[in-house]
Amino acid sequence: MSSVDQPQDAHVDDGTASSAVAGEAMIERAKSVVVVAQRVDEDEACQILFDAARKAHIPLRMAADQVMTALEAEECRDGLTHEALMRALGAVHPLPRPRAPDDHPTNTAA
């Protein structure tokens, strides 16, 4: 997937190469899980993850991390199932918006 295909905020540069490598590894790991559970090729798996990230308005690497976290939290006695993956993809969510100082209600009582 090219950088043109990724959500606008998919490139978060925190200044460390190791962070970028870790993000790519997480994406590859999640993609592999989608390939196995959905029985799709790598391009389609990438598109499935991309769609989840786009829907939640988060970077692809964060969506991949959320999918893997959801799968790890689930007890998969029968191994990885399509249903478990669907629940994990459904668990991808936007990051909470940081509260600005002026978001707090002010005391207007005199």
Question: pLDDT tens digits, residue range 10-51?
Answer: 444 555 677 777 789 999 999 999 999 999 999 999 999 999
Which residue do the tokens 């707090």 mark? 104
Residue whose C-alpha is closest to residue 91's, from 1, 79, 62, 7: 62
Q: For the chain, what is the radius of gyration of the CA atoms?
A: 17
Question: pLDDT tens digits, residue range 59-84?
Answer: 999 999 999 999 988 876 667 888 89
pTM recorded for the entire structure: 0.69
Helices (H), the chain: 17-38, 42-56, 60-73, 82-90
Amino acid, res. 36: V
pLDDT score recorded for residue 106:
56
Structure tokens at 17: 């190469």
